């Protein structure tokens, strides 16, 4: 479980962090990562994994921007459809408005409640996330980590990797986003051997390929993206693709 907290008030930061740590200790839950942020952009830049093990506690009002937390939640949801999002706020009146942002928040925790209820709601959110992690069928995960980059996401969400125009960087296209990070295709193929090097600059997930054009030497994904295929790789590509479809 990874826990992210977005709160710009120092007193409230301490309150929620201390409450979470108390709940984790009582329930004997170990988390891989927990961090408090006062800057929304820094929080978003720190999201390197995807899945229902990602738990976000977000204040709605940040730096006097009354709906900033809702906007951040919307960005998180675009990146990660399975993340667990909880609002901790004095603006519980925004609960109905959150539906417009399509963030599917698990809960709204009012900062004005007493410490006991505050703790109970925090605990319920952590228990829910733990349950989701344990009951869901395990997914095949892509996990890539170097001194400069760290990524973890379901392999089924990957479309393809391509070498970047920036030296020593790679671009990743998933079902929902585009990421760029330091690395090379050889390193990626080493940790994810099911991916196929269809061209010296493209490494693809054949499970998400919907069409192959032998004449134009291209392959296509459902979202319309395409990758070139080396002439020497075409026969092997088709054989592997047909085994999956």
Residue-level pLDDT at 98? 59
| Separation between Cα atoms, residue 239 and residue 176, nearest integer Å | 28
Report yes or no: 53 and 85 within 8 Å, Cβ to Cβ. no
Domain identity same for 172 and 95: no
Q: What is the mean pLDDT of residues 3-21?
A: 96
Looking at residues 32-42, what average pLDDT do you find? 94
Helix (H) or strand (E) holding 153: strand 150-154
Per-residue confidence (pLDDT) for residue 138, from 0 to 100: 62
Tokens of 121: 């709601």
In the predicted model, what is the mean pLDDT of the chain? Answer: 90
Q: Tell me, what's the pLDDT at 95?
A: 62
Q: What's the domain range around 234? A: 141-244
The reply to whether 8 and 120 lie within a common domain is: yes
Written as six digits, the tokens of 129 are 């996330």
% of the chain surpassing 70 pLDDT: 91
Which pLDDT tens digit goes with each residue over 149-194? Answer: 788 888 999 999 999 999 999 999 998 889 899 999 999 999 999 9
Decide the pairing of beta strands 84-89 and 107-110: parallel
Task: Give the pLDDT of residue 118.
Answer: 96
What pLDDT is attached to residue 149? 75
Shared-domain flag, residues 94 and 176 = no
Tokens of 234: 């075409």
**In terms of domains, do 122 and 213 share one?**
no
Whether residue 50 has pLDDT greater than 60: yes
Same domain (yes/no): 28, 105: yes
The answer on pLDDT for 96 being more than 70 is no
pLDDT over 60 at 198, yes or no? yes
Are residue 147 and residue 104 in the same domain, yes or no? Answer: no
pLDDT of 101 above 90:
no
Mean pLDDT of 62-79: 84
- Residue 132 CA to residue 127 CA, distance in Å, equals 9
Q: Both 106 and 35 in a single domain?
A: yes
3-class secondary structure, 168? coil
Whether residue 197 sits in one domain with residue 147 = yes
Question: Is residue 54 located within the same domain as residue 89?
Answer: yes
- DSSP codes, 17-81: HHHHHHHHHHTT---SEEEEES-HHHHHHT--B-STTEEEEE-S-BTTBTTHHHHHHHHHHHH-T
Is residue 99 very low, low, confident or very high in pLDDT (cuts 50, 70, 90)? low
Read off the tokens for 93. 């009146």
195 and 75 in a common domain: no
Q: 11 with 130, same domain?
A: yes
Query: What gap in Å lies between CA 227 and CA 198, rounded to an integer?
Result: 8
164 three-state secondary structure: coil
pLDDT in tens, 124-150: 999 999 988 876 556 788 988 877 778
Stated pTM of the model: 0.71
Domain end (from 135, 169, 204): 135
Instruction: Note whether 23 and 128 are same-domain residues.
Output: yes
């Amino acid at each position: 479980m990874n826990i992210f907290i977005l709160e710009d008030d120092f007193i409230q930061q301490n309150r929620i962090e201390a409450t979470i740590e108390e709940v984790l200790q009582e329930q004997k839950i170990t988390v891989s990562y927990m961090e408090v942020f006062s800057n929304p952009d820094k929080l978003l830049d720190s999201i390197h994994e995807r899945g229902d093990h990602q738990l976000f506690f977000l204040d709605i009002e940040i730096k006097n921007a009354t709906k900033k937390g809702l906007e951040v939640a919307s960005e998180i949801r675009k990146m990660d459809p399975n993340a667990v999002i909880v609002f901790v706020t004095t603006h519980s009146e925004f609960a109905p408005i959150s539906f417009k942002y399509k963030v599917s928040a698990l809960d709204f925790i009012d900062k004005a409640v007493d410490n006991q209820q505050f703790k109970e709601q925090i605990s319920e959110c952590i228990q829910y996330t733990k349950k989701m992690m344990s009951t869901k069928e395990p997914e095949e995960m892509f996990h890539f980590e170097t001194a400069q980059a760290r990524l973890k996401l379901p392999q089924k969400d990957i479309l393809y990797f391509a070498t970047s125009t920036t030296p020593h960087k790679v671009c990743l296209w998933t079902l929902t986003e585009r990421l760029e990070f330091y690395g090379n295709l050889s390193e990626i193929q080493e940790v994810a051997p099911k991916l196929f090097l269809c061209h010296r600059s493209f490494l693809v997930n054949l499970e998400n390929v919907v069409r192959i054009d032998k004449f134009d030497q291209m392959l296509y994904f459902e979202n319309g993206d395409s990758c070139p295929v080396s002439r020497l790789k075409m026969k092997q590509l088709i054989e592997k693709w047909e085994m999956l479809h």
